[in-house]
Amino acid sequence: MGHNETIAVEDDIHLSFGKKLPVSVERGEGVKVWDENGKEYLDFTSGWAVAGLGYSHKAIVDAIINQSRKIIHNPNSGLTYSPSRARLLSVLKKILPSNLTKVFFTNSGAEANDAAIKLARKITGRKKIISTLMSFHGRTIGTLSATGQTVQTERFNVHMPFFEFVPFNDCEAIRKVLDDDTAAVIIEPIQGEGGVRVPEPDYLEIVSGLCKQAGALLIVDEIQTGFFRTGPAFITAEKGVSADFMTMGKGIAGGFPFGAVAVAQSIASKIEDGDHGGTYNGNPLGCAVAASVVQYMIEKHICINVHSVSKSTKIILHGWKKKYPELIREIRGEGLLLAVEFTKKEYVSYIQSKTLENGLILNIKHGTIIRLIPALTVEWEEMFKGLKIIENCIFNLLCSRVNSEIGVLHVTGA
Ligand SMILES: Cc1ncc(COP(=O)(O)O)c(C=O)c1O
């Protein structure tokens, strides 16, 4: 099957919930992928902040081969002991916030959040879950109900009851709605899908204090921010926040579907047999891959690369903001979770299609935001090359016929 035939078959039969980029990706290596015609692309999406080590990394490939030769799925679906799970638990222990002493594995981020919400209700005997506007916690009916983006939720009549939403980065708003029926507050340390929104430095800490006062539990969703995406292993640990639950996914296994929920001892002690479970949870293959990925990130001090590439990237992005004030509204983010917000959707759709023609795959949020989330192993030369492709498109936007079609702009200091 060739490139065009693949596209034809998929367009015909695949039930897709989004508009696809017209690229049939056959293989990947590091930050690069190749389509079926052999065309090379740089990928600044890492599959939505998942492939932290890049594509086809040896640590992942070897773990899959070695573990699958031994065993892929546990007898009694996990209710036996498993060396690969034990290895993953030992590796995770090195980076988890110190108060989170027990871990349960899931197959995705949404499943981890679902488990946390469900267990928080059971443990507190309360119903209400407080979440934030523009948050994203998953697409199951439970996590969708906790998601604060109407564009994601409003079509699905009806949500789970007892979810309330407050503006992000607003402690007072949380204080007002916390009551003696609040089971938990669920929060992202930086809103990822919401458009990379970074709160005040003490936000998480204050929310944690408010939860404690109200007897409510705190669920920190590190599914997008975790595993060194923003620099530290987890923002929760970096800030010294004592969450009751911390949920993980995406980067944990570099592309193998996996997730986890870590809980404080006070929570673990209230969990009873049968409270939760799942056929594939903590399967040996996923555990082996995750252990290998996380071990590699720790050993190679991946945070150093994240910090240095991020620092140089931010200098360039802020330079764009100064040069193209009519086009660029804001630069946001930490580590390699960065966003360039443009003033108009037309600019971003133009940039996305032109960068694709020029061999760069980008992720767009809410029409106006380019989210830059490359592999954490991206080299500065690769990052620079991709940024140059974007800037050329921005410049062409100003100069080309497209510019005259969408209005007169001018550039300052260029
Ligand atoms: C913060 C956050 N929570 C939860 C999820 C859902 O994770 P998954 O797609 O693995 O179910 C996502 C996915 O984008 C996310 O960014």
**How far, in Å, is the centroid of ligand 1 from the Cα of 111?**
9
What pLDDT is recorded for position 413? Answer: 44
CATH of the domain at 229: 3.40.640.10
Residue of 141, 153, 193, 235 best suited for mutating to test ligand 1, as the one with most atoms within 8 Å of CB: 193
Please indicate, yes or no, whether residues 209 and 234 belong to a single structural domain of this protein.
yes
**How far, in Å, is the centroid of ligand 1 from the Cα of 30?**
22
Q: Is the pTM of this model over 0.85?
A: yes
Residues 6+ positions from 31 with CB-CB distance below 8 Å: 42, 43, 44, 46, 54, 55, 374, 375, 377, 378, 379, 382
Residue 171 counted as domain residue = yes
CA distance 282 to 71: 13
Please indicate, yes or no, whether residues 221 and 269 belong to a single structural domain of this protein.
yes
Please indicate, yes or no, whether residues 72 and 51 belong to a single structural domain of this protein.
no
Q: Is the CB of 131 under 6 A from ligand 1?
A: no
Q: Is the CB of 188 under 6 A from ligand 1?
A: yes
Residue 414 counted as domain residue = no
Regions in the chain scoring below 50 on pLDDT: 413-414
Please indicate, yes or no, whether residues 291 and 331 belong to a single structural domain of this protein.
no
What pLDDT is recorded for position 166? Answer: 98
Residue 86 counted as domain residue = yes
Please indicate, yes or no, whether residues 102 and 248 belong to a single structural domain of this protein.
yes
What pLDDT is recorded for position 414? Answer: 39
What pLDDT is recorded for position 203? Answer: 98
Residue of 186, 193, 223 best suited for mutating to test ligand 1, as the one with most atoms within 8 Å of CB: 223
Identify the residue whose C-alpha is closest to ligand 1 atom 13: 138
Please indicate, yes or no, whether residues 258 and 339 belong to a single structural domain of this protein.
no
Residue of 137, 143, 152 best suited for mutating to test ligand 1, as the one with most atoms within 8 Å of CB: 137
Please indicate, yes or no, whether residues 171 and 293 belong to a single structural domain of this protein.
yes
Residue 413 counted as domain residue = no
Q: Is the CB of 142 under 6 A from ligand 1?
A: no
323 is in which domain, residue-wise?
3-56+301-406
For residue 71, what are its two tokens?
Answer: 């065993």
Please indicate, yes or no, whether residues 65 and 181 belong to a single structural domain of this protein.
yes
* Tally of domains within the chain: 2
Task: Decide the pairing of beta strands 259-264 and 245-248.
Answer: antiparallel
The residue from 248, 275, 299 where one domain ends is 299
Closest to 251 (Cα-Cα) out of 369, 146, 373, 142: 373
Q: Is the CB of 244 under 6 A from ligand 1?
A: no
Residue 349 counted as domain residue = yes
The residue from 267, 299, 331 where one domain ends is 299
Residue 412 counted as domain residue = no
Residue count of the chain: 414
Residue 107 counted as domain residue = yes
CA distance 355 to 251: 25
What pLDDT is recorded for position 224? Answer: 98
Please indicate, yes or no, whether residues 169 and 313 belong to a single structural domain of this protein.
no
Please indicate, yes or no, whether residues 261 and 163 belong to a single structural domain of this protein.
yes
Please indicate, yes or no, whether residues 127 and 270 belong to a single structural domain of this protein.
yes
Q: What count of Cα atoms within 13 Å lies in the side-chain half-sphere of residue 132? A: 31
In the three-class reduction of DSSP (H, G, I as helix; E, B as strand; rest coil), residue 365 is classed as: strand
For the beta sheet containing 337-342, the strands, ordered from the edge strand earlier in sequence to the opposite edge, are 328-334, 337-342, 369-372, 363-365
Per-residue pLDDT of 331-383, as tens digits, reads 999 999 999 999 999 999 999 999 999 999 999 999 999 999 999 999 999 99
Q: Are 126 and 119 in contact (CB under 8 A)?
A: no
The residue from 256, 280, 299 where one domain ends is 299
CATH of the domain at 35: 3.90.1150.10
Residue 411 counted as domain residue = no
CA distance 259 to 247: 8
